Structure 1
Amino acid sequence: MSWKADELRLRAEELDAELGRNRYPGRSHDGLAFAVVTGQGRLIGLLLADHATGIPHPQLAGPAVVEAVHAARKAAAEVSLVKMRAMFGETDHRHRRSPEPDEVSIEEIDFLDGGLR
């Protein structure tokens, strides 16, 4: 392995360790759930509001948990991606794969007739 590859691997390991130490919170819009994730997006904490056990429809707690975890992971990704891009030199993250010439766009399909428009 070259010196440059070794250096990059070491920096990546250091960044991974840093992201593992960072904490990002997220809360559901109704305040029913609160989640904490690492900079890697790993869930490390989840709290339900005290009144969650007494709500008339406890099945509503599930979506609140998902929303809180999603919010925490989104916050972690915003910071972590900036750090990773800085490390690997990527500044423009808007590159999108353009459709291949033989691909058909979803807008061109007529689902009622089963053919193309």
Structure 2
Amino acid sequence: MIDKAKRWARTIKRDVLALWLAARDARVPWYAKAVAGAVAAYALSPIDLIPDFIPVLGYLDDLIIVPLGILLAVKLIPVKLMAEFRAEAIRRSKPTSRAGLAFIVAIWTAIAVALIWLFWPNRPA
């Protein structure tokens, strides 16, 4: 069972890198590039949408959201191209995504601004 989990984790890592490559390839349709880029940026971002220290929910994105995003993106990319990207991903090391970091920071900033605006005490004029 542990061996199966390790294989699954390696497959996820490989596919994330393959999607990162696909998002930059001119042969991939624009809609597949958009999905692949978003999934790869999120998966490679050093910051999660739901921080891992939050019990149960913290790992929900890693266990459900990322694999579902990968499945969707892989279905949108032509099979022969995806096989090429997977082969290239095996040869490369894992990059980090500054765009993913910026995206997650922007979401958290927007949430913070919305909460401050919502709960800021109204001052009489």
Q: Same fold (TM over 0.5)?
A: no
CA radius of gyration, larger in: 1
Judging by fraction of residues, say which structure has more strand: 1
Greater relative contact order structure (CA < 8 Å, 6+ sep): 2
TM-score (normalised: structure 1): 0.31
Judging by fraction of residues, say which structure has more helix: 2
